[in-house]
Structure 1
């Protein structure tokens, strides 16, 4: 089997682990870029508008005009909706490089941080009125980031990707992306680009489902390896991605280990005892992929997935909640799980 590299669409991809597994313990396109929406042409029709997000009502008196994407995944989605000219900041840009057509539209947008969320001061300094984050972690005041309350006091609405809300992180699904696209279409008064983007995504997912049909599902363990520490994925959008790709997760969200979080550190014996047909693992870059493959080969030589070289690397950025990369991941994993059908 050819090993998939940690690239997508010509991108060199990097990301911190599992949208920061360690950090989260403390607290991932194929579409064309839409024409930019002009703030000057905006009217107040349809406002004030209230949108529910993570159990909180966000009220908008007009479409936001000073926007920050707290990860490239979120920045990309905003650009795809034609909102590049609204961006006043982008963050955590070391996660991965955006496609050239997207990068060209945000070349002058200030970079607020590289590997971690921006500090409170750096974020507030660009005076945003809308901040879009992949998870609730990016709003953790204890980590030195601007909290939702602090942003509200500064006149900004903070929006978290639906699948990244704290109370949904362990049970989120790929469909949460479409909730975000619909909400962003309402918030920015761009319903037509939002509907088109959502329709494209749903059609791509349906194509995978139709292709797989009733094919037998291979057993899959989804892992993240950092050094010699192995974490298993048992929930969240990552779990749903495997299911939609036609795999049977060997770790289940109903297990006690995943009662409070979508990932859990496990012993090597746990993987060996479940003997998955395929191992899917998230990678930050090429070096991380190589190190993970080496560790899996050394630690699990008798596990079917390793013995048969059915190891599938997926860019970590494609697994972030609220990213078009979720659809890419479904397509890519499905092709690896069912090569005879694709």
Structure 2
């Protein structure tokens, strides 16, 4: 692939560059099957789960949890575990969905636009910390490491798609692993099964709608000012595939062999001439700026000519969020609108 290089930026194992670093939950419904956390109709049975190459053992359900980003906080709320949350972090990076936002109003905020420091996190006295990526456990950044948390008796769980070894090969359905594991850890298997079933139903509806359609080519990019990067691996890549798109950048390209994103020149994107461009943004201003950049820089590109510029909330592209499922549907609707509006023959 021409004109591509690895970006000279620190990623947190998340979807985008620069400030696009954290996660948010999506609009899927809260589980309606109430369960008392820590019980399955009897005494708590010890649980063992695998997470990011580590084996986590629980002799009892955690009772003091910190959601290290809005997506993790939101998922805990959707599992009916809000009463266990003693802290929420990185709250300014994305909003919780309207239907659960009020449930988080009384949860102490430990940090706004970055992970909490080690002192602040441990000061909340959690016994379980749920993180979107491994970045939140980087001691060099002043955060509590997994080892330090273990020494303090705190269980540390990272979203499956945010594990370092999976960041380049993660898939949308990694979220189902997390839902199942949390259902076991907190002894709420019914709520977890219900939430997973709804998510799978949503994905199945998209698959049925796009079945048999000729695939459009898609480039997923991130624009910050005049800097352009392409996404060619990881959960973001799988989103395009699951939504019925044909990625013009892929893990087979050398630029994405070790990292899911790479800096790209405008010439490289113009050469691919995708039918659609997908991009993640943190808000309306970035969305407007990105669209203006794409239209001004690539007036002859098929995606621009046909107005197939699909904007996603950056929070929906990060590992460990139900928003991944929402993003799949949004991409599919942007690519094949007639398949979702009754216009398909």
Q: TM-score, normalised by structure 2?
A: 0.90
Q: Does 1:175 align with 2:183?
A: no
Tell me which residue corresponds to 2:28: 31
Q: Does 1:242 align with 2:211?
A: no
Distance in 2 (CA, whole Å) between partners of 1:136 and 1:306 is 36
Distance in 1 (CA, whole Å) between partners of 2:19 and 2:260 is 13
Number of aligned residues: 325
Unaligned 5+ segments in structure 1 are 1-15
Tell me which residue corresponds to 1:266: 264
Distance in 2 (CA, whole Å) between partners of 1:154 and 1:334 is 45
The alignment yields a C-alpha RMSD, in angstroms, of 2.0
1:307–1:39 CA distance, 2 compared to 1 (3 A): closer
Tell me which residue corresponds to 1:223: 221
Distance in 2 (CA, whole Å) between partners of 1:339 and 1:273 is 26
Report if the CA contact (8 A) 1:90-1:110 is conserved.
yes
- Residue 155 of structure 1 aligns to a residue whose secondary structure is coil
2:93 to 81, 92, 95: 95
1:258–1:17 CA distance, 2 compared to 1 (3 A): closer
Distance in 2 (CA, whole Å) between partners of 1:223 and 1:120 is 34
Report if the CA contact (8 A) 1:272-1:303 is conserved.
yes
Distance in 1 (CA, whole Å) between partners of 2:280 and 2:180 is 28
Note the C-alpha offset of 1:322: 1.1
Q: Does 1:313 align with 2:305?
A: no
1:43–1:194 CA distance, 2 compared to 1 (3 A): same
Q: TM-score, normalised by structure 1?
A: 0.90
Tell me which residue corresponds to 1:85: 83
Note the C-alpha offset of 1:24: 10
Note the C-alpha offset of 1:43: 8.0
Distance in 2 (CA, whole Å) between partners of 1:308 and 1:40 is 53
Report if the CA contact (8 A) 2:88-2:111 is conserved.
yes
Report if the CA contact (8 A) 1:131-1:159 is conserved.
yes
Distance in 2 (CA, whole Å) between partners of 1:252 and 1:39 is 42
Distance in 1 (CA, whole Å) between partners of 2:13 and 2:44 is 40
- Residue 165 of structure 2 aligns to a residue whose secondary structure is coil
Give CA deviations for 1:107-149 in whole Å, capped at 9, x if unaligned. 1111111111111111111011111111111111111111111
Distance in 2 (CA, whole Å) between partners of 1:18 and 1:296 is 23
User: Which runs of structure 2 are paired with 1:48-197 in the superposition (5 Å)?
Assistant: 48-197=46-195
Give CA deviations for 1:130-187 in whole Å, capped at 9, x if unaligned. 1111111111111111111111111111111001000000100011000000000000
